[in-house]
A and B are shown apart, each in its own frame.
Chain A
Amino acid sequence: MKEDTTTQNKLTFEQLLEKEQKEKTKKDKVLDFLVCCLPILMGIIAILEYLYVPNFGNFKNLSPNTYITFIIILIAAYTAVFVVSLFLKKKNLYNKVISKAPITAAIFAAFITYDLLTLKSNKLLYPFFPWFNDILNAMKGDAAFLWECTLSTLKLLFYGYFFGAAIGFVTGIICGYSKKAKYWIDPIIKLLGPIPTATWIPLVMVIASTLYKGCVFIVALGVWFAVTTATMTGIESIEKSYFEAGQNLGCNTRQLVFRIAIPAAVPSIFQGLTQGMSSACVSLMVAEMIGVESGLGWYIVWAKAWANYGKMYASLIIICIIFTVVTQALAYIKRYVLRWQEGMVR
């Protein structure tokens, strides 16, 4: 009855990869190392370029050291990871550094290019395209207010997403289960689903008791649509045999829902959650730009009104970071929860 557990099973995945890969020649190894050094080199060039290429016309670059500090921090962070990876026995991290080195170098190159196009030559016109040091200074100077706006945006996103997802989850399960509930709710979804949620903003602004609540509603609405539809399809498309197996093993009705239907629908639910997140980000920004008087979206409009483009870009960058982090975090949770899926493992 025993499965044969030969030495093969004891190899780790990394060792296996290494064994199967072609032996790297010395030349390959040196080349890899040089590629890893490329970002550091590019970073240094960026600093030298910034310091020694003369500024355009009478541009006044206030507190010029912010940019240098920023670049140095980036270089230091990269170098730290690189050095650590060299000393680790496992080659995972080093291999990752090798694969990410070219794109990191390209990022530094992009900094150089942007600096040359703005501060050094004004090819991209000031003030619409402030140089990077200017943006960083704007960020630094207005840090307290930006932080406040960031928190406000995060709060709105969290509330809207949470309520939308929670209610969507419940309605999705009910509709997936009960034909009667689906009969009444499905038309609502079919009719209103295709309309972008931002369309409702003007109406909600009038009806809602406070602007803030209105915006939570707008964000939640999009998430609700996505999660309800996905959960419903998820529950409906569960193989009947799972329920039969569950019944046969002694599940009662409640256990059939919570132990079989919901876990089986989780892949679909996550699809809805991901889709809901992108919908939430869109409606959040639109809502802040036309409705609420706080948050990063509002900050952009406000900074533009004052023609303070440095601040505008600062806010844009923070928005970009927030949405990336939030989306990545969701993807990470998804990968963990769905680790049982085929192709997800290893």
Chain B
Amino acid sequence: MTNQENAKIELKLDHVYKSFAKKEGKEILNVIEDINETFHGGEFVAIVGQSGCGKSTLLRMIAGFIPVTEGSITVNGAKVIGTDPNRGMVFQKPTLFPWLTVQQNIEFTFKMRGILKENSEKVKDMLNLIGLYEFRNEFPSQLSGGMAQRVALARTIINQPDILLLDEPLSALDAFTRMNMQDEVLGLWQMRPQLAIMVTHEIEEAIYMGTKVLVMDKNPGKVQKLISIDMEYPRNRSSNKFVEYRNEILETLHFGVKEEA
């Protein structure tokens, strides 16, 4: 798929509301209120916000795990109902199937859809790409956290989804592995820049990776600000521009950066 074709991908969130029933339906909890945004292929949207702002809920609605309460989510005009490998999701925990080897985990999706034979080369390429070809016959219990998350990423990306959903995929990793993985995820995305939406609670990660940062408020969760990050990759974490973006987001989240007297 070329970049132009990718650009045609359009995810539209049309006045999306989400409420959960609490205490056996005696209380209604409004989690998300009136989200109205449109994203396109080639964008990397990072969603930040305090815990409880509904950012994961939003992602899970786009993935199709949970229905919207009001409004609609459409991909290229088609309403999102249920899950689809075309909206691939990577979770916070790798959730690799522990009874399958690395290779079996990666080719799982092809096997389920009965198209493994014609895609066996792809599996091999993917194993090489993530540098785990030698580990293809190992079980997940033998992998380190970073390796496991890489397999999880590969298992989703191999479908070439139009929309890649990342639910804090790096938050369980240590600081160094995390920084390496940020570059790897970006690399995988740049190879075939579809629409990526990542939830994170690290502002720095959001600015480092996103083309856009969506800042969300909580109780109930709504969009506070959508900031376009106008910087070339790879980005310098200590550049002035980076710090400016950081301050802007912090202020939006009411962590007021006090002007020095």
Contact = CB atoms under 8 A, between A and B. Distances in A.
Interface of A: 1-3, 5, 239, 241-242, 244-252, 255, 259-260, 263-264, 266, 339-343, 345
A133 to B, nearest CB: 51
6 contacts: A3-B132, A241-B91, A244-B83, A250-B85, A250-B112, A341-B141
A248 B65 CA distance: 9
A340 B155 contact: no
B97 A242 contact: yes
Contact of B65 (A247, A339, A341): A247
A247 B142 CA distance: 25
A2 B99 contact: no
B213 interface: no
A7 to B, nearest CB: 14
B129 interface: yes
A249 B85 contact: yes
Contacts of B91: 241, 244-245
Interface in B91-132: 91, 93, 95, 97-101, 108-109, 112-113, 129-132
A242 B184 contact: no
B129 to A, nearest CB: 7
A249 B155 contact: yes
Given A1-B184, A248-B83, A250-B109, A266 B159 contact: no
A263 B108 CA distance: 14
Contacts of A341: 98, 141
B83 A247 contact: yes
A11 to B, nearest CB: 15
Contacts of B139: 339-340, 345
A242 to B, nearest CB: 6
Contacts of B132: 3
A255 B109 CA distance: 11
A241 B141 contact: no
Nearest to A341: B141
B93 A241 contact: yes
Contact of B95 (A241, A343, A345): A241
Interface of B: 63, 65, 82-85, 87-89, 91, 93, 95, 97-101, 108-109, 112-113, 129-132, 134-135, 139-142, 147, 155-156, 159, 184
A342 B88 contact: no
B93 A249 contact: no
Contact of A3 (B85, B108, B147): B147
Given A244-B91, A249-B109, A3 B135 contact: yes
Given A247-B83, A264-B99, A5 B156 contact: no
B183 to A, nearest CB: 10
Contacts of B87: 248
Nearest to B92: A241
Contacts of B108: 249, 259
A5 to B, nearest CB: 6
Contacts of A249: 85, 88, 108-109, 112, 155-156, 159
A245 B65 contact: no
Given A249-B109, A250-B109, A250-B112, A1 B63 contact: no
Contacts of B88: 248-249
Contact of A251 (B112, B135, B156, B159): B112
5 nearest A-B residue pairs (beta carbon): A1-B131, A249-B109, A340-B139, A342-B141, A250-B85
A266 B99 CA distance: 9
A242 B95 contact: yes
A273 to B, nearest CB: 17
A204 B129 CA distance: 64
A260 B89 contact: no
Contacts of B131: 1-3
A345 B142 CA distance: 8
A250 B113 CA distance: 7
A343 B88 CA distance: 31
Nearest to A239: B95
Contacts of B147: 3
Contacts of A239: 95
Contacts of A5: 134
Given A241-B95, A248-B63, 11 more contacts: A242-B97, A244-B83, A247-B65, A247-B83, A248-B88, A249-B108, A251-B112, A264-B97, A264-B99, A339-B139, A340-B101
A3 to B, nearest CB: 6
A133 B132 CA distance: 62
A343 B95 CA distance: 18
A1 B130 contact: yes
